[in-house]
Amino acid sequence: MGTIYIDGKPYEADPQNNLLHVCLSLGFDLPYFCWHPALNSVGACRQCAIKQFKGEQDKKGKLVMACMTPASPDTRISLLDPDAVAFRAGIIEGMMLSHPHDCPVCDEGGECHLQDMTVMTGHDYRRAEFQKRTFRNQDLGPFLNHEMNRCIQCYRCVRFYRQYAGGKDLNAFSINNTVYFGRNEDGVLENEFAGNLVEVCPTGVFTDRTLKQHYTRKWDLRMAPSVCGHCGVGCNVTLGERYSLLRRVVNRFNSEVNGYFLCDRGRFAYEFVNSPNRIRTPQLDGEAISGEAAEWEFQNLTSSRDRLIGIGSPRASLEANFALRQLVGADRFFAGVESKEWTLITTMIDILKRGPARSPALNEIEHSDAVLILGEDVTNSAPRMALSLRQSVRQQPMEIAKKLQVPLWMDDAVREVVQDQRGPFFISAPFATRLDDIAAITYRAAPDDAARLGFAVAHEIDANAPPVPGLHEKMRAMARVIADALKKAKRPLVVSGPSCRSLAVVESAANVAKALCGFSQPAMLGLLTPECNSFGLALLGAHALDEAVALTGKDATVIVLENDLYRRLPLEKADALLGSAARVIVLEHLSNTTSARASLLLPAATIAESDGTLVSNEGRAQRYFSVFPHQAEVRESWRWLRKPQWSSLDDVLSDLAKEVPQLAAVVNAAPSSKFRVDGAKVPREPHRASGRTAMTANLTVVEPKPPVDPDSALSYTMEGAPLQPPGALQPFFWSPGWNSIQSVNKFQSEIGASLRTGDPGVRLIKPSGKGEYFTQIPSHFVRREREWLVIPIEHIFGTEELSQHAPAIATLAFKPYLALNASDAGSLGLANEGEELEIELGGAKHRLPAKILPDLPAGVAGIPNGLDFAFGEVFPTWRRIERVS
Amino acid sequence: MLSVIRTIWNVFLHSFRRRVTIQYPDEKPYLTPRTRGRIILSRDPDGGERCVACHLCSAVCPVDCIALQATEDENGRRYPEFFRINFSRCIFCGLCEDACPTYAIQLTPDFEMSEHNRQNLVYEKQDLLISGPGKYTGYNFWRVSGVQIEGKDKGEAENEAPPTDVYRLTP
Ligand code: SF4
Ligand code: SF4
Ligand code: SF4
Ligand code: SF4
Ligand code: FES
């Protein structure tokens, strides 16, 4: 720390940082465009100009860019110097020369960084009289709207898209005054993180196309802190609602988890909440009944306790699963996940609890300096994590920049030093993955061989780890290279997960992590989970779903919580489970095959209309809050299932903490409903929200009483304390003069660091022991004659259940296919991709168009995970594949 | 005593003054066009709906009595799907008119809006939208804005150059 002088006053500043970072951290309002806290400085826009003086005597000073100047001790600067003020106003005026007269019809309006900066510099009148430059727009797919006229050429979009997210198909075209940001031609942006351009672009060039369908200004949105429920990573999001319609999702900063970015699944899946498929009224044997009648009916059906079978869900909250478990008893509570997957999940939890390696938060993943991925295509199974992994390859080369004394925030200079060098990054997966472009070694193998590589690496690191019998010399050499790189690293990371459906793969990853921990440095082990609360359910404890089939019978009542059993079990098993029961009670958001079989169907509130806790794959418990009250006949699942003595979520949580000691800490994931800021609740609406006395005046001119929220410390209106609440309760980011998402600067303890009031979430899993080496090493994969080992392939769009009900995502969902490598396809006599192949899945023969995946190992076939007729198959599985002649 | 007589005298003199009381409603007063009475939504000179559903009037309204929802036609022209003013709350402050960037929302000299039933004071778009430009003739937001709509391509708005050729490589 050193002292710098800003307009004559001394401040503490870290010389490692630049002056813009320091000024913003200190709370000054200094305008900027091209600098972004995650993308650092390039000094392109010249908006952050300040005066720097040589010493106390220097009165003249010189203009410098704050974002390009280090905060060295004794630096003297002025933000208010008239030259600097005039320069900044001039820059904005230049940027606005061709800016269209669009604010009233621009979706960015009201949360536009350009508007904010223009007001901040005081530019308010266009003096220029020349014609404005114009551009044609492109169709960039269902997620993003493109309006190039509004561009100020700050280059943030391409820097994020190409350098940070590894995208290829967005670029800057043309020259000087007409630089154009777009694609080579119209088309869907390929990168899985393209949606972040909505927030990265400081203007209205890239805006949310799904929001446009039901456009609402930020100031009119009722907003609440929530957690993404569409994969196991648990990114923090802010939901926005108006007129009981969920309007959009934006990123909610959490320095440890998602930082500034989300993936496109998480950002655009929200529309399932508005789906016409929603179940909105309770039904008894197909007849709609009222909520009260349904409650009574439910009490009636569940009062004979001995024959209740409860089936929980890894996509339902801890509270809902716990309420069901309490109702049916722990021995008749089932996980709602088939036994192979359930074994994988419980084994992963065990590894993290008993082993020595810590499960990393995304922020730690980003800073790891050597990575081994075993058996996962992370971009498709836990998308946001892939973005963090992508940053990790810069860690080792950046050491060179440090040695050359290039400050790490000086982005272009660092990239110049780093060039194409990448830190050690190894992927072993059955097919090409979206991270291959940064990998030093990619090894394509069947799950068993991927596991063998893992075991071999572990043995190379630590001779006490079990050796791999019959190891090929080539594989040993590869294992040695990987082991050496991991051993040299300061923060090595091993990533694995359940996508291969192979216990051996996960166990081999655990061995590598354990071997590394023994070797000295604290290795991290990131294990992906298939769904948003897989780990929560595992910590709660449940039996595998298959066991419920044996228990069902004529006198049994089966209660299914937010789960489509036909996605989990083979058809006949699911039929047996539900068909032979006397009664089936289903709590669900959207109609599906299971809900169609319910004798009593109870409409369950979605993540947007209820409160609850999810446990991410990091083992972090995070609370989500409803953004609007659910409709009259809909209830939170835990409310349908509740004990009479539970009146609010706090009661459920305190019972949960008592009953399940390993989940006791979830109570601390967010403040209770009794919590108050300055004696008041935290408002979900901004203080500018409009229309209070007119919104429902068409129904009745008498204004309704504002809805009350018994479950949280948030209020549904703008009433409450406009002070910064604890991080877990932060409903939106807004600060005077900072209407855009960039206002998050004002809420952080320091730019890019944790929220001033603490980052949300509590970690539940601590590595506690040394663990044991796993010794079950599979033998080398041997292909079979005329039979293929069929493995599921994850897809960011199409695999996850709920997101498919969002129209924008549905248009990008995978098309069914059966993948083979080229020579296997040749051996079947296939001439072209797209020719039909026949395969038996789910008890029937199906025809699927062939897809050539050149990297697939011989003897392995892939089908997309999410094909409806393949649900209930336990993968990997050996199947005959024939060409349809 | 004296003051009483003076008062009586003054009253007597007043009976010769010009009358300012108007026999409303038989007789109507003159109100300037800028009088702040019943609110209307106007049309642009081409007959199109002027309101572009920017939500500025609803945001500025101190009693929050304006509610609307934005939508777009198939050619990108934005307009309100519904537009509602609850006149039982309106205080006729005129801030909505000040805030409006398109001259769509205007206050008119009509104040005769009494109703027996408060519900009848809730006006929807069909009750608000008139067929002309109101006080401000001439202005058409879409001719100035850079957004492309039907009948106005990129580069055809006021003071706009034709769209740039992205493939151009000479300075
Ligand atoms: S980008 Fe910002 S300044 Fe430009 S038209 Fe949109 S809201 Fe207005
Ligand atoms: S499109 Fe947006 S982010 Fe990209 S250069 Fe233009 S203003 Fe900047
Ligand atoms: S990575 Fe997962 S949790 Fe994060 S936004 Fe994407 S789907 Fe949601
Ligand atoms: S301010 Fe004008 S253009 Fe904007 S919504 Fe109101 S009436 Fe429409
Ligand atoms: S923010 Fe400093 S030059 Fe752009």
- Do B147 and A105 lie within an 8 Å CB cutoff? yes
Domain extent, residue A791, equals 787-883
Inside any domain, residue A204:
no
List the CATH number of the domain containing A834: 2.40.40.20
Please give the angle made by the CA atoms of A652, A345 and A461, to the nearest 5 degrees.
130
Inside any domain, residue A576:
no
Number of domains observed in the structure of chain A: 4
DSSP letter for A394, please: T
Whether A763 and A620 have beta carbons less than 8 Å apart is answered as yes
CA distance B163 to chain A (A): 5
pLDDT of A550 strictly over 80: yes
List the CATH number of the domain containing A461: 3.40.228.10
- The residue out of A95, A123, A158 marking a domain boundary is A95
Inside any domain, residue A832:
yes
Closest partner residue to A134 among B68, B102, B160, by Cβ? B160
- Would you tell me how many other CB atoms lie within 10 Å of the CB of residue A691? 23
pTM for the model stands at 0.95
Q: CA-to-CA distance for A605 and A278, rounded, in angstroms?
A: 10
The answer to whether A175 contacts chain B (CB < 8 Å) is yes
Task: Give the model confidence (pLDDT) of A132-183 as tens digits.
Answer: 999 999 999 999 999 999 999 999 999 999 999 999 999 999 988 899 999 9
Inside any domain, residue A690:
no
The residues near B44 (Cβ < 8 Å, ≥ 6 apart) are: B50, B102, B133, B139, B140, B141, B142
Task: Give the model confidence (pLDDT) of A193-233 as tens digits.
Answer: 999 999 999 999 999 999 999 999 999 999 999 999 999 99
Indicate if A604 and A676 belong to the same structural domain: yes
Beta strands in A331-449 (DSSP E): 333-334, 370-374, 425-429, 441-444
Q: CA-to-CA distance for A751 and A729, rounded, in angstroms?
A: 20
b or e along A7-30 (b: 16 or more beta carbons within 10 Å of the residue's beta carbon)? eeeeeebebebbbbbbbbbbebbb
Indicate if A605 and A754 belong to the same structural domain: yes
Indicate if A520 and A423 belong to the same structural domain: yes
Indicate if A820 and A734 belong to the same structural domain: no
**Predicted confidence band of residue B1 (pLDDT cuts 50, 70, 90):** confident
pLDDT of A305 strictly over 70: no
State the closest ligand 4 atom to the C-alpha of B100, by its place in the atom list counted from 1: 1
In one-letter notation, the amino acid at residue B131 is S
Whether A598 and A685 have beta carbons less than 8 Å apart is answered as no
Inside any domain, residue A126:
no
List the CATH number of the domain containing A52: 3.10.20.740
Please give the angle made by the CA atoms of A269, A274 and A278, to the nearest 5 degrees.
105
Ligand 3 atom 8, closest CA? A266
Q: Residue A70 has which token pair?
A: 């280090």
pLDDT of B19 strictly over 70: yes
Whether A296 and A307 have beta carbons less than 8 Å apart is answered as no
Q: CA-to-CA distance for A577 and B115, rounded, in angstroms?
A: 63
User: Residue B45 region, left (φ>0) first, then alpha (ψ -120 to 50), else beta?
Assistant: alpha
Indicate if A750 and A802 belong to the same structural domain: no
State the closest ligand 1 atom to the C-alpha of A102, by its place in the atom list counted from 1: 5
- Spans of all domains in chain B: 32-136
Nearest by Cα to A704 from A768, A797, A632: A632
Residues of chain B in contact with residue A700, where contact means CB-CB under 8 angstroms, are 119
Mean pLDDT of A398-408: 94
**Predicted confidence band of residue A843 (pLDDT cuts 50, 70, 90):** confident
Indicate if A365 and A458 belong to the same structural domain: yes
Residues of chain A in contact with residue B67, where contact means CB-CB under 8 angstroms, are 690-691, 694-695, 697
Q: Residue A188 has which token pair?
A: 């869907």
| Residue carrying the six token digits 């993955």 | A433
Beta strands in A281-381 (DSSP E): 283-284, 287-288, 308-311, 333-334, 370-374
Indicate if A644 and A759 belong to the same structural domain: yes
- Do A102 and B122 lie within an 8 Å CB cutoff? no
Please give the angle made by the CA atoms of A596, A597 and A600, to the nearest 5 degrees.
95
In the sheet that holds A2-6, the strands lie side by side as: A9-13, A2-6, A76-78, A49-53, A62-65
Indicate if A754 and A791 belong to the same structural domain: no
Task: Give the model confidence (pLDDT) of A662-720 as tens digits.
Answer: 999 999 999 999 999 999 999 999 999 999 999 999 999 999 999 999 999 999 999 99
Please give the angle made by the CA atoms of A614, A616 and A620, to the nearest 5 degrees.
85
**Predicted confidence band of residue A518 (pLDDT cuts 50, 70, 90):** confident
Inside any domain, residue A796:
yes
The residues near A322 (Cβ < 8 Å, ≥ 6 apart) are: A540, A638, A652, A655, A656, A659, A660
Task: Give the model confidence (pLDDT) of A384-398 as tens digits.
Answer: 999 999 999 999 999
Indicate if A609 and A735 belong to the same structural domain: yes
Distance B130 CA to ligand 4 centre (A): 15
State the closest ligand 3 atom to the C-alpha of A237, by its place in the atom list counted from 1: 5
Interface pTM, i.e. ipTM:
0.93
Closest partner residue to B166 among A174, A693, A700, by Cβ? A174
Whether A145 and A202 have beta carbons less than 8 Å apart is answered as no
Indicate if A463 and A593 belong to the same structural domain: no
Strand partners for A51: A63, A78
Whether A431 and A862 have beta carbons less than 8 Å apart is answered as yes
- The residue out of A529, A557, A574 marking a domain boundary is A529
Mean pLDDT of A121-128: 91
Indicate if A751 and A848 belong to the same structural domain: no
Q: CA-to-CA distance for A866 and A649, rounded, in angstroms?
A: 33
Residues of chain B in contact with residue A698, where contact means CB-CB under 8 angstroms, are 84, 122, 124
Cα–Cα distances in Å, from A464 out to A471, A477, A768, A775? 16, 18, 20, 11
Indicate if A808 and A860 belong to the same structural domain: yes
Mean pLDDT of A4-12: 96
Residues of chain A in contact with residue B59, where contact means CB-CB under 8 angstroms, are 110, 217, 219-220, 688, 690
Inside any domain, residue A868:
yes
Q: How many contacts does A have with B, using Cβ atoms within 8 A? A: 143
The residues near A831 (Cβ < 8 Å, ≥ 6 apart) are: none
Residues 208-247 of A with CB under 8 A from B: 212, 214-217, 219-220, 243
In one-letter notation, the amino acid at residue A94 is G
Distance B88 CA to ligand 4 centre (A): 20
Q: CA-to-CA distance for A274 and A506, rounded, in angstroms?
A: 37
The answer to whether A184 contacts chain B (CB < 8 Å) is no
The backbone torsions φ and ψ at residue B114, rounded to the nearest 5 degrees and listed phi first, read -60, 145
SS3 A427: strand
- Do B65 and A693 lie within an 8 Å CB cutoff? yes
Strand partners for A242: A245
CATH 3.30.70.3270, domain B32-136, yes or no: yes
Q: What is the pLDDT of residue A306?
A: 59
Inside any domain, residue A544:
no
As a whole number, the mean pLDDT across chain A is 95
Asked if residue A778 has a cis previous peptide bond (ω within 30° of 0), the answer is no
